[in-house]
A and B are shown apart, each in its own frame.
Chain A
Amino acid sequence: MSPRAGEGEAVIVGAEVVAGHDGSAELVVRLRHANGAEAPLVLDEEAGLRLMRNCGASHVDDLAGQSWRRILEGS
């Protein structure tokens, strides 16, 4: 499993599959930033599956605790 997020940087705290406007499944990732505030990030099917692969996750719940940097790997 990949390293978890470092101190003081944005971290994934949850993820959920949603319906995209074009009928595809998309991934809404919830990030907690260093200031404690949370915000959603919408990833399309390709980016969502890539994130799961980057994190070695086979379940969306496995994404919790991962660094925001994982989202950019391979993009």
Chain B
Amino acid sequence: MFDVIVRGGLVVDGSGQPGFQGDVAVKDGRIAAVGRVEGEARQVVDAAGRVVAPGFIDPHTHFDVQLLWDGAARPALEHGVTCVVPGNCSLSLAPLKAADRPRVVGMFQQIEEMPPEAFTTAFDWTWEDFAGYRAAIEKALSINVAPLVGHSVIRLWVMGPAAQERAATPDEIAAMQDLLRQCLDAGAVGLSTSFVDIDENGRPVPSRFAQFEELDALAAVLGEYGRMLQCVPEFYATDITIARIDQFAELSLKHNIPTTFSPLFDTSAVPDNAPRAIARVEEQFARGARVWPQMQTRPIDISFSLLRPSLFFARLPRWVRVLRLPLEARLAALRDPDTVAKLVADTGPDGGEAMMGRLILRGGDAAPAELAGKTLSEIAKARGQVPAQALIDLSLEHGLDVAFLSASQGHQSTDRIGPMLAHPLVHIGASDGGAHIASFSTYGDTGYLFSEFVRKGRHLSLEQAVAKITGETADIWGLKDRGRLQPGLAADIVVFDAETIDREAELPTFDMPGDGMRYVRAARGIDTVLVNGEVAYANGAYTEARAGVVCV
């Protein structure tokens, strides 16, 4: 008697091999059989007309805090993600001495944009070491977690405030090595560092004060365990990215470790950025180094309000001049009919229809909730105005606290990005799940992979796309128990409709502690998600299953 049989689906097993019609049987949290499975099970999942694949692995997230009250990392799990990697960009919630919590909370708030209540009321902060953090999240996980430990917090533990002021001494570096060993022993899957992040005061995070010898010493410890080194490199700055690739290649070769940098973006402003970086990665792989560039699937949007100047208006001189004014003077200018008439005229004879009509009102701020998700063109028509006039008036009506989104302003060329995602040395990831929550949604990149690059662009086959975010990801990260539908491996399984899997529209929701707002995207086309053999999501709802583990 099996626990679960997923029957009659197209089995796409994560290896990249062609899918086949078959069943997947589960026993004791593990895959017991794949193919034509005879026998009975306590639970049968009908997968007719659906794809049965390994659960997706998201290798770049910031769910560190959310996991303490939401063991499903919602909405990641409903998108078919069964394993998340938090602790990226040099920041994790352990090891962390109680006295240093306020400092790290500031850094987390800078990146994640979590409300303060997330750190004060949503959980009991009982731990200091990595094992304690692991125990805290393991109590109620419905998703698997493969946590990185952050270089910045390791530095802070050993050096205190000096971590954000100076280079480390040899004794301090040795202490960091010992601490990293403790974290790896407690379940960390690697170390993250950052070359770009800043704290809430604009000061570089501690990892950026490290000399290369320090990183080298920590990489030596990673070499003892064969574990990952992750970094955030400078964006769109190709020469610097190549320098980082070279630095990481040296560490990879010297210590025999995998390394990854994220994100790598494509942009029309620097068209050779991603191709040059990938070319350098190819050269380094040819030497035997492992430096995996992580590329996200989703385009990047620009958001802005009239509360502060934005470069969005950089091609509208009069708008720039008005938005540069101090707030009171800016409000006065935006209320002045003559000024507004000129501003509107500047947007073209159509009143900004072509330039601004596709802007989306984001919601979650002072704007009326019923307008969230509508285009400025739709809103303007309903008001009997042209878009530029509607943008100004709507903003004035709500104290300028009305955010607009200009969609797909970067990393948006499907025809350029598709072949790069299909490149064998490009690692699909960099979702940033759980970060920037008040600015945009970081969920649903896997659905977008299938809708945009499999169905629409046909840059990857179904099997290639599945392998990229399952088997290949598990191989890159050394997650030996995950990523494939293969007898003996953990039964992380997603059942989805290949014709409809996608991400839904971005919408504001108030489900953070203290009724805090974040932007999310629901999933489309996901039927059932099993984590370690238990159904964690089915029929559009989360279950009571808590089978997630910290996986190594």
Contacts and interface: CB of A to CB of B under 8 A. Distances in A.
Asked if the two chains touch in their complex, CB atoms less than 8 Å apart, one says yes
A21 B309 contact: no
Contacts of A45: 309-311
B237 A23 contact: no
A57 B265 CA distance: 28
Contacts of B265: 21
A19 B302 contact: yes
A18 interface: yes
B542 interface: no
Interface in B407-464: 409-411, 432, 436, 439-440
Contacts of B273: 40
B311 A26 contact: yes
B301 interface: yes
Interface in A26-58: 26-28, 39-42, 45, 48-49, 52-53, 58
Contact of B301 (A19, A49, A53, A61): A19
Contacts, number: 94
A52 B313 CA distance: 12
Interface residues of A, number: 26
Nearest to A25: B311
Interface residues of B, number: 38
B300 A25 contact: no
A16 interface: yes
Nearest to A45: B311
Which of B236, B263, B411 has most chain A Cβ within 10 Å?
Answer: B236
Interface string B229-261: 000001111110000000000000000000000
Contact of A23 (B268, B303, B309, B320): B303
B436 A22 contact: yes
Interface string B311-355: 110110110110010000000000000000000000000000000
A27 B324 contact: no
A25 B302 contact: yes
Given A19-B301, A23-B440, A49-B324, A59 B269 contact: no
A16 B269 contact: yes
B270 interface: yes
Contacts of A23: 300-303, 436, 439-440
A52 B320 contact: yes
Nearest to B267: A18
Contacts of B195: none
A52 B314 contact: yes
A28 B269 contact: yes
A42 B324 contact: no
A20 B320 contact: no
B442 to A, nearest CB: 10
Interface string A1-25: 0000000000000001111111111
B300 A19 contact: yes
B111 to A, nearest CB: 9
A60 interface: yes
A16 B236 CA distance: 12
Interface of A: 16-28, 39-42, 45, 48-49, 52-53, 58-61
15 contacts: A19-B302, A20-B235, A20-B302, A21-B235, A23-B301, A23-B440, A24-B302, A24-B311, A26-B236, A42-B235, A42-B236, A45-B310, A58-B318, A59-B314, A60-B315
Interface of B: 234-239, 263, 265, 267-270, 273, 299-304, 309-312, 314-315, 317-318, 320-321, 324, 406, 409-411, 432, 436, 439-440
